[in-house]
Structure 1
């Protein structure tokens, strides 16, 4: 801990344009590189190794998000799909996010072949990069001990571990935002323009990863630079103007490029109401996330409540999110307030206060945004909170330690109080997980009490055994504070089948403790996914029940092949379909070396049993084989209701599949005129109707359904199913009844150019 008290590095010499820097007495900072403690680099390496194991171990057993997996695969088949972020290689519709993260994963899979590890290698590298950047930034201001604590806290945050094992874009988003914040702090410290421009570019690329979420921390970055930079106001204004230009260019290049392509020559932009990227920015991925609506559900927690509990100031501490992100929020808050008070009357340019404002502002802004969001709110969004919490625990914790050892009785209680609150909250969270590691919460309580007692007993130690015992007390406090999150964080990689909500669409860590974890559910009638959450049972065994016929119709969660090349040895391997004409359901998990459970060959299979995993066994694989055999040169294998269903079929077959209504089932991508055009050109022959899986605009649904039923030919089970071959030949009335039954669940229709009048 001695490094925490080392002096600031020697500042640059004063010049006529730049006054001498002022240094606060309370500003602990990193020693010069030649004075780095011997343990510092080994500690960072150990943390990076630990993080690599947590993020990559047993990765093949987890299910990735089929929505993004299919888009990555399509990007390996078509450069146009790679640029637009299209779900399918035929470029009918994109995913509902900008494509920057998909581009990175797509390039990796183009070079190395398509598979789980090939896709996840950039994700894991991005996660490790975030730890390294945060460590470096905290070290420059608060010292090596603070940096090590910050890196360890970030690496062990449960929801961060969960999302870093998934192919959602949040891992890349957090890397870019942390890099932007670190560069901005460096620009404030060094008075250089280039780091400020680099910060703006990073935040712009973050925007092209998840749009407005990438901007949440920008007010804190702006405030720190404006307030704490030593430059004159005119020079700061010029620098900020140049940074604003860099931010605009790096943010809007993709949306501008998309808008320059005629609508007829580009895919429909998923998540938008009019097929444009600008609408996606301002609506579904913009204010719609905060206010609800725009495909995000209604206000009052209607959208967000499905996944993360009801919106409100205490949301981060509820049964759903508490165990994922809140373990150290109380300590971070205490450290922030105490640290700012300790800075007292330090000069405006004090770096310690600037860093506290930056990471404190980061934490507060993200907390309020996620807590009060009325739109769709997944637990894994809160991974963006983790860097701020980690930096405050490291830097602020060191400040509290110095105050504790400083001899001022007024400050001697603050660090122990923060640790006590942390221990109590950890016990509350651990007790919520009924029947899970019941020994852990008493152990945390006992160790924390002993650690706090040791701090007081050995507080005034000067040397020898008492100093070593004081160090043991500090280490015990850190262990007690991190024991709970570590247990949660380890569950995705090492946990039993009773823990871990790694469902691709909604990854979480640790045991299920809340009722708000429903995944995209959705009634009967679509490919892939059963009733309830993403395919019903998440990998790892946690039941994640959603709402049948709910906001996200269809939607199972897809796995990935483990080898390279075409997706899972398609088309031989099959996956579960939704109840109805495509029986099955259940989340797919890619099997080891391309062999899927419950399926044939290497495709993502159902959760067990016959191919498809449910109802009529192999009927789904037979029907998909029938569709492939009779594709007759069409661009798309079939048109289905939603992107989750389409994504699973793309992964299973390697063929483009149309998602008519996007991820939420509310996109208006398919119109009757567009359908007729595709059929007339011979680009689409099959479409699935019925079963409650349609979603979308009701008038469009009715119009398309009526036209298809009038002009198309229903595919009867007897045409593809060996199990029904003999019985289906009995008589005409039996066939009529069969078709009628199909209409009430889901029916696949054949359409040919001659059917278009």
Structure 2
């Protein structure tokens, strides 16, 4: 089973049997009623678990889930509507069943969001049940987080015992990016839940012996369905776990090789069917009777999946940065890829840089060390060994996803890494458990100590990036982790308790950084399109923060960051100007910004003309620190750029008067308040009876008005303002038919690289044929009263 000199103390020679959690009460044989003489049923089973399970397990699980619920639900509505872009689609889904089905931004169904609608379905149904509000939007997200913790526990417990399952579930809860995204309304919460469910189903399939081959097929079919719906949540990202799922079952499934291959092919059909039905529905539905598919160039969901939201993300191009996309004029590096725009430079170290590090990397080094050790020690175990199967499944998912995120050339944002959390937590918990069981070996004990020490040292580095935030904590984490690791290595057979003390002191200290960061994340609100974790005021780069004066607001080469003197220098700190981000999964940038050297400039992509006189709509928060042409020298952007509510300024706090958002980390357009201070404009739009009360450039601008009024507002050009919808001719026909009441000047994102949007043409046509009026400080055109020929 093992060669000379090999070490397998922590990895039993065969784990093809139900795991025994050392130190727990021995399992009760099947059919036995245990010491009480009665089998647990009903509430007793729900609260205490089945009779053959130790009595402490189920209460501990309930405690973990309750703690996770408190963490995610506490202060849940502090973020307001969080991301206005998706919140507007949710509101529209509560008003129109067609909007719910397609994920339309507006209830009159002009255009969809640039993602499939699965996550919108859940949030909109919640809104229909509870009434549309911040709470009804974010409640399903938090519950998905709790469910993900349970599935990780359940999946790990099958092969490694309940203690390990509880540890894995706890690690999910305290990972900062999970604490962020399970309290936010981007699609990622549902994506992670579905992917985790698929991994759990594969665990169940692997443990089915040959006599239960049909059960294995059922579990694989379930896995396929869940991954198919993950595709309908965020397209190709939902498929990243498929290689590890197929590899683990092919390696460790109990059936013969031919049967295993057939099972996997059947599961593949389930993926295609569960994802393809909606793609087919959109393709067969008459295009003039459904909304335009946002983010696509040809009004095709399939094109969106393979292009902008698919291969374009990996290789660049198709509206994404990097690859074949044209970088904005004046930039000094790659846009979204290798040059350090969104996500920083590509490469194996990307997940540890200043933009991603504090989101996901706290425990990543330890998990990778544990994975390598586990695969080495199990290399000669039987094919069906369960511990190795678990490492291949969870560890393989972790590695594949991490590599894709590290090297993808297209648009990537920090919060994408939430997809890695379940696999990271499971891999770390499983490998650490096996190493602990083999602690009698100095080699194995040293590896476990190395995992603890590395976690402490790396947490020390990460905490050091948040200058001024709990400076004592990083030293406690570092010293505690190193002392614990040293005690673990120094322990011997005669000093077994020293190993226990070492692993407890070291592990608890090492986990102090990620736990504190996760708690700080849920302690305040987050708004905008690119949220980031951490304490109030901290910014990890492209993602934004509240931009506190002194202390936080680090950017390390962010995109278009303004320093105190108003120069776009990409410096590592700001004076409270906050951050400037692109949009939800899109690299677009506001038009009309002058490019200078240093960080990446704000000029629109070459060939894209911004609407003249573009200003943010009333009530829409302009990115903190953004300056327009002829901006004031103080970098506040007060000159030449109209600020929300007519106030002409922001304080860098992530809020503006009348917005309704509560001081969270910002990060882009659409702050999350969903309200507008311009009561005159609200009254004007609410008084209309047309299909759309107004139209404006870009989904972010339209979303603000949708949330602030009782009407549908058309988003010209979709999220980035560059989608070819509607065309000028279509817009002119809508106006002639009386379907649109007003055109609101401003808005837009400047278009993604090389986009063919019609927003500029429409703006020019409106300006030439209708008279501008000012309503509460906002420029509005009454489309029912032309000043001249509209031909």
TM-score normalized by structure 2? Answer: 0.76
Alpha carbons of 1:41 and 1:588: their partners in 2 closer, same or farther (altered >3 Å)?
farther
Distance 1:411 1:6 in 2: 7
Aligned pairs for 1:479-558 within 5 A:
479-494=508-523, 502-503=527-528, 505-510=530-535, 512=538, 514-518=540-544, 543-546=578-581, 551-553=588-590
**Structure 1 counterpart SS, 2:538:** coil
Task: State the Cα distance separating 1:638 from its structure 2 match.
Answer: 1.1
Which moved further from structure 2: 92-101 or 342-351?
342-351
- Between stretches 114-123 and 127-136, larger displacement belongs to 114-123
Per the alignment, residue 296 of structure 1 pairs with: 320
TM-score norm. by structure 1 comes to 0.80
Q: Of the candidates 669, 679, 684, which is equivalent to residue 621 of structure 1? A: 679
Q: Please point out which of 14, 21, 25 is paired with 1:23.
A: 14
Conservation of the 8 A alpha-carbon contact between 2:16 and 2:384? no
- 3-state DSSP class of the match of 1:306? coil
Using the TM superposition, name which of 502-511 and 359-368 deviates more. Answer: 502-511
Query: Matches of 1:356 and 1:618 in 2, distance apart?
Result: 51
Match of 2:445 in 1: 412
1:237-252 to 2 correspondences below 5 Å: 237-252=261-276
Instruction: Say if 2:692 is the partner of 1:598.
Output: no
Superposition deviation, residue 230 in structure 1: 2.0
- 1:305-333 CA distance string (max 9 Å, x none): 43322222111000111111101111111
Structure 2 counterpart of 1:684: 740
Alignment of 1:418-457 (within 5 A): 418-457=451-490
Secondary structure in structure 2 of the residue aligned to 1:637: strand
How many residue pairs are counted as aligned between the two chains? 657
SS of the counterpart of 2:781? Answer: strand
Match of 2:222 in 1: 198
Cross-structure match for 1:128: 146
RMSD: 3.6
Partners of 1:675 and 1:66 lie apart in 2 by 24
Residue 433 of structure 2 is matched in structure 1 by 398
User: Pick from 378, 381, 386: which aligns with 2:416?
Assistant: 381
8 Å contact from structure 1 (residues 363, 388) kept in 2: yes
| C-alpha distance after superposition, 1:350-377 (max 9, x if no partner) | 1111110011110111101111111111
Superposition map of 1:59-78 within 5 A: 59-63=76-80, 64-78=82-96
Alpha carbons of 1:186 and 1:695: their partners in 2 closer, same or farther (altered >3 Å)? same
Counting only pairs closer than 5 Å after superposition, residues 625-704 of structure 1 correspond to structure 2 as 625-629=683-687, 631=688, 633-689=689-745, 695=751, 697=755, 700-704=758-762
Give distance in 2, aligned partners of 1:648 and 1:490: 30
How far residue 134 of structure 1 moved from its aligned partner, in angstroms, is 0.7
The answer as to 2:71 corresponding to 1:54 is yes
Per the alignment, residue 18 of structure 1 pairs with: none
Alignment of 1:361 with 2:379, yes or no, is: no
Q: 1:128 to 1:587 in 2, by over 3 A?
A: farther
* Residue equivalent to 1:524: none
1:160-208 CA deviation, whole Å, 9 max, x = no partner?
A: 1011110111011001001101101211221421001000001001000
Q: CA deviation at 1:239?
A: 1.9
Counterpart of 2:255?
231
1:340 aligns to 2:375 (yes or no): yes
Q: Deviations over 1:234-283 (max 9, x none)?
A: 32233223212211110111111011111111111011111111111111
Q: Is the 8 A contact 2:452 2:482 kept in 1?
A: no
8 Å contact 2:85–2:703 — kept in the other structure? yes
Structure 1 unaligned residues grouped into runs of 5+ = 9-21, 520-530, 556-573, 725-741
Please name the residue that 1:728 is paired with.
none
Partner residue of 1:285 out of 309, 317, 330: 309
- Contact 1:178-1:387 within 8 A present in 2 as well: yes
**What is the CA distance between 1:286 and its match in structure 2?**
0.3
1:222 counterpart residue number: 246
Residue 713 of structure 1: how far off its partner (Å): 2.3
Between the aligned partners of 1:670 and 1:411, the Cα distance in structure 2 is: 63
Query: Which residue number corresponds to residue 204 of structure 2?
Result: 186
Secondary structure in 2 matching 1:685: strand
Find the aligned partners of 1:554 and 1:621 in 2 and give their Cα distance.
27
Cα distance in 2 for partners of 1:605, 1:425 equals 32
Please list every run of 5 or more consecutive structure 2 residues that lacks an aligned counterpart in the other structure. Answer: 1-8, 28-49, 324-332, 546-559, 567-575, 593-617, 623-640, 665-669
Name 2:551's counterpart in structure 1. Answer: none
Say if 2:463 and 2:513, in contact at 8 Å, map to a contact too. yes
1:169 maps to 187
Distance in 2 (CA, whole Å) between partners of 1:284 and 1:587 is 33
CA 1:332–1:106 in structure 2 vs 1: closer, same or farther (change >3 Å)? same
1:158 and 1:323 in contact (8 A); partners too: yes
Closer, same or farther: CA 115–25 of 1 in aligned 2, 3 Å: closer
SS at match of 1:659: strand
Do the aligned residues in 1 keep the contact of 2:643 with 2:650 (CA within 8 Å)? no
Q: Report the counterpart of residue 341 of structure 2 in structure 1.
A: 306
| Aligned-pair CA distance for 1:471 | 2.9
Greater mean alpha carbon deviation, residues 689-698 or residues 662-671:
689-698
Call closer, same or farther: CA 1:201–1:106 in 2, change over 3 Å.
same
Distance 1:92 1:391 in 2: 43
Q: Distance in 1 between matches of 2:677 and 2:402?
A: 48
CA deviation map 1:3-51 (0-9, x unaligned): xx9999xxxxxxxxxxxxx934999555756454444333322222221
Deviations 1:345-403 (A, max 9, x none): 11111111111001111011110111111111111100111111101111000111122
SS across alignment from 2:127: helix
Does the 8 Å contact 1:597/1:605 carry over to 2? no
Partner of residue 571, structure 1: none
Aligned with 2:167 (options 131, 143, 149): 149
Structure ranking higher in helix proportion: 1
CA contact (8 A) 2:734 2:740 kept: yes
Q: Distance in 2 between matches of 1:65 and 1:487?
A: 25
Per-residue displacement from partner, 1:580-600 (whole Å, max 9, x unpaired)?
496458899999xxxx97339
Q: Distance in 2 between matches of 1:243 and 1:493?
A: 38
Contact between 1:74 and 1:89, CA under 8 Å: does it hold in 2? Answer: yes
Greater displacement, 158-167 / 141-150: 141-150
SS of the aligned residue for 1:475 comes to helix
Change in 2 beyond 3 A, CA 1:688/1:599: closer
Other-structure match for 2:118: 100
SS at match of 1:111: helix
Q: 2 CA distance for matches of 1:442 and 1:249?
A: 53
Instruction: Give the Cα separation in 2 of the matches to 1:469 and 1:606.
Output: 47
CA distance in 1, matches of 2:513, 2:318: 38
The residue number in structure 1 matching 2:59 is 42
* Shift of residue 704, structure 1, vs aligned partner: 2.2
| Distance of aligned partners of 1:141 and 1:328 in 2 relative to their CA distance in 1, 3 Å threshold | same
Offset of residue 703 of structure 1: 3.0
Higher alpha-carbon deviation: 193-202 or 507-516 = 507-516
**Aligned in 2, Cα 1:343/1:328: closer, same or farther, shift over 3 Å?**
same
Provide closer, same or farther for how the CA distance between residues 134 and 547 of structure 1 changes in structure 2, counting only shifts above 3 A.
closer
Structure 1 contact 154–387 (Cα < 8 Å) conserved: yes
SS of residue in 2 equivalent to 1:307: coil
